[in-house]
Amino acid sequence: MKHALTLALGLAALSGPALAQEFSYTYASPYTETHPYGQADAEWIARIEEQTGGRVEITPYWGGALISSREGVDELAAGVADISYIAPIYARSGYDMNRLTPGMFYGYTDPQKVLNVYMDLIDEYPVFEEELGVHVVGYNVGTPMHLLLREAPVESLEDLQGLRIRSAVDFVGPLAAFGAEGVTMPMTETYPSLERGVVDGVIAPYEALKSLSFAEVVGYYSELPHSRGAYASRAVNAEVWDAMPDDIKQVFEDNVEWLSLRTLELAQEAEEAGRAYGEEQGVVFNTLPDEVVEEYSAAFAPAIEEVAAELDAMGKPGTEVLGTIRSAYDAE
């Protein structure tokens, strides 16, 4: 089944009389209820409870009270919670298709296009869910990140020469290809590092201008896209899922698309608020020509092709999935 997801997110009508609560589940998230992901979760929990006629009750535990980002899949599989937010992309190892496929979306700038392509892959390749060992009921797609800079904008790739940029590991190679040094450090250490000039910039989304107060310590936001791909983000413990009645399972299944799109919608609202805050603080925004973006994106290819070959060697469809993602990109 091909996906053509939209952001039309009307509530499904509920028919029949409300029934007494029969099933009680816990939900765990490393995020707070006020975070865009937490907001989407809270709305989703209310939908599940409503659309099951009150038969299901879900008790949320926010802010990492039960589960962590890095070990969330293992913790859910072990029964720390019945349902939880998961982020296999942050795992140190394992979950190879889930962890490594997001990097294959380099160059993509439209997160909904990323989500559409990813959902088609999920339909076609059962390995994505099989290697997690939990039942996935929602997906995330990251909005693109760009360059936040202290002293001057990046207007060409030559401007990267000599800069020290706080970066995720996946972006270190492309930065180095154009003479910049990618520095890995916790995001919590990035604000003081920018303030003191330890780094010249950071790769981050618009929302970080507000949520992490980066607008206070950078003067420029250069829109050189770094795609974050998509990944499984909410799941049910396998034993809990197997024990659910089919009609309850169907309600969860019917809301996979809704939750994925609502999460994206709220994330985009946070992006808009972050950019507006940056403008209020005097941050200067600039775009780069399409040909510059394409040249920069091409620097991601060699490392990603190696990743795909490593997946192939594990008996997983790395090169095949990479080909599908790049073909969809070329067709834009």
Confidence of residue 201 (pLDDT cuts 50, 70, 90): very high
Number of structural domains in the chain: 2
Residues 112 and 242 in one domain: yes
Report, as an integer, the average pLDDT of 269-291.
97
Q: Is 101 exposed, middle or buried (0-12, 13-18, 19+ CB in 10 A)?
A: buried
Report, as an integer, the average pLDDT of 186-205.
94
Residues 215 and 190 in one domain: yes
Report, as an integer, the average pLDDT of 238-253.
97
| 65: in domain | yes
Helix then strand then coil, in percent of the chain rounded to 5, is 50, 15, 35
Residues 218 and 297 in one domain: yes
With 80 as the cut, is the pLDDT of residue 14 above it?
Answer: no
Residues 49 and 181 in one domain: no
d(CA 108, CA 230): 11
Residues 192 and 48 in one domain: no
Q: Which domain holds residue 287?
A: 145-227+282-330
With 80 as the cut, is the pLDDT of residue 261 above it?
Answer: yes
Instruction: Render pLDDT for 119-155 as a digit per residue (tens, 0 to 9).
Output: 999 999 999 999 999 999 999 998 999 999 999 999 9
**Does 90 or 291 have the greater pLDDT score?**
291
| 274: in domain | no
| Full DSSP string of 312-332 | HHTTS-HHHHHHHHHHHHHT-
Radius of gyration of the chain, Cα coordinates, nearest whole angstrom: 21
Residues 68 and 156 in one domain: no
Record the tokens describing residue 185, joined without a space. 């450090």
Beta bridge mates, 220: 149, 284
d(CA 107, CA 224): 9
| 307: in domain | yes
Within a 10 A sphere around the Cβ of 258, how many other Cβ atoms? 19
Find the CATH number of the domain harbouring 73. 3.40.190.170
Report, as an integer, the average pLDDT of 82-86.
97
With 70 as the cut, is the pLDDT of residue 95 above it?
Answer: yes
What does each C-alpha distance from 166 to 150, 202, 239, 254, 280 come to in angstroms?
Answer: 12, 4, 41, 40, 24
Residues 79 and 223 in one domain: no
User: Are the beta carbons of 61 and 81 closer than 8 angstroms?
Assistant: yes
d(CA 323, CA 301): 12
| 97: in domain | yes
Q: What pTM was estimated for this model as a whole?
A: 0.88
Beta carbons within 8 Å of 314's beta carbon, 6+ residues apart = 96
Confidence of residue 331 (pLDDT cuts 50, 70, 90): confident
Residues 233 and 170 in one domain: no
